[in-house]
Amino acid sequence: MADPYRAVVIQSDVEMVDLNRSASQVKETINKNLTRLCQMIDWAAREKSHGERLLIALPESMLHGFPRAGWSLIELLKCCISIPGPETQRLSEKALKHGAYIVGHAWEVHSDWPDRHFSTAFIINDQGEVILRYRKIQPAFDIEASTSPHDVLDEYIKKYGKDSLFPVVDTALGRLGCFICYDGLFPEITRCLALKGAEVLIRPTSWLGVTCAEPYDWWEMQNRMRAAENICYVVAPNAGDTLNSPERPRAHVPGRSMIVDYEGRLLAKAGTSGELTIDATIHLDALWHKRSLTKWNPLATLRTEAYAPFYQQSMYPPNLWKDKPHDTLQQVTEAILGSIGKLMERGIIRRKS
């Protein structure tokens, strides 16, 4: 038997860093955002009863926002952090204070990969330890200059092993995994996590404007489908308003954070942008029961051999940036155009007549 616990999503406003300023001034903005996040964590934990377990999820780019496309890699490195590091230490102190698990996101630099950065989700346990780092497999090509592990695949696997691509950690809150924002367009990512046993998937996100609203609403559709097809909970914090960014609307990331259960049902949903929290109860026993049933069980009826030939075809090539990280988004666009050309040669994409 597993005791139910409360999952809380913090939808926080973020002050945009100004990469025209010095590295120290950028860090000031990051620390200001972090201070506000810590205040909101205290608020989210205010009603926690003695012995209650708590999961607190924070959005993507919560420390720096998304600077506009076109910044150079050197400029973007100003707003990157180490994990663990001083910023995660402040969150660790909150996790220890409240006996909570905290999930966050940042652009990460690491000594193993000089002059690169990763888009990284991390989990801090109730003892204040960083117990998981997931590095985004599918950066949003039109705005992110971060490296995907797939860009340096052979070396990445050599350093950390194949399991490092889709990490899952077994905790008192169940088996936890993460995927990030644009990853949600790729069902393969959450399926890999589910096949490693993940039961609660946390998705830090800064999902943008039009496709977060009707008539599209890819945001809700993805969260509900990734939950239902993998029989897992999806805890999905989206960012709130963007502050100090005159070139875009404050609500260009329109919030609407949500928590979805293992059958794709909405348990909680923020109906607005801006700062707020939502919460829902996680029942692992019910999830375990659902996974043990024969009816509507996509995990138990997955016919992997039928799909294998298709996944052995390379689409977007691995190790593309193994020697030097890309420093412009145009380089990535050209690589995608090359993939489109291959798909045309295979007849998957038809040429215009």
Position 69 scores a pLDDT of: 65
How far apart are alpha carbons 280 and 55 in whole angstroms? 10
How far apart are alpha carbons 212 and 86 in whole angstroms? 33
Ranges 119-128, 162-171, 314-323: which has the least confidence: 314-323
Average pLDDT over residues 328-339: 86
How far separated are the first and last CA of the chain, in Å rounded?
61
pLDDT at 31 over 70: yes
Is residue 129 within 8 Å of 123, Cβ to Cβ? no
Position 239 scores a pLDDT of: 93
pLDDT tens digits for range 85-103: 999 999 999 999 999 999 9
Ranges 51-55, 174-178, 235-239: which has the least confidence: 51-55
Average pLDDT over residues 28-38: 97
pLDDT tens digits for range 272-296: 888 999 999 999 999 999 999 999 9
pLDDT category at 27 given cuts 50, 70, 90 is: very high
55: helix, coil or strand? strand
How far apart are alpha carbons 148 and 152 in whole angstroms? 7
Position 71 scores a pLDDT of: 72
Position 169 scores a pLDDT of: 98
Ranges 189-193, 223-227, 231-235, 313-317: which has the least confidence: 313-317
For the whole model, what pTM was predicted? Answer: 0.96
pLDDT at 70 over 70: no
Structural domains in the chain, sorted by start: 5-292 (3.60.110.10)
